[in-house]
Amino acid sequence: MTASALIKESDLHRMAKIAKRDGVRVEIVVDGKIIRVSPDIPDNHSGKDVEKFRGFDL
């Protein structure tokens, strides 16, 4: 028999909705374990072309 889940799927969805709506990280502690849900992190590391400077890549 499998163990029951620490947190219900509906609770995770609820946490995700709050995180996205308010732009905050939501945490819950269950049996000494911390479960965190964070909002989307913007892609600050999008690839851009490397500029050439006198034959060198910068």
Q: Please report, for the chain, the start and end positions of each structural domain, with discontinuous segments joined by +.
A: 7-39
pTM: 0.62
Q: Report the pLDDT value the prediction gives residue 49, as an integer from 0 to 100.
A: 66
Distance CA 21, CA 50 (A): 36
Residue 25, SS3? Answer: coil
Residue 3: which pLDDT band, with cuts at 50, 70 and 90? confident
Helical H segments across 1-58, by residue range: 9-22
Phi/psi of residue 2, each to 5°?
-85, 155
Which H or E run contains 28?
A: strand 26-30
Q: Report the pLDDT value the prediction gives residue 40, as an integer from 0 to 100.
A: 79
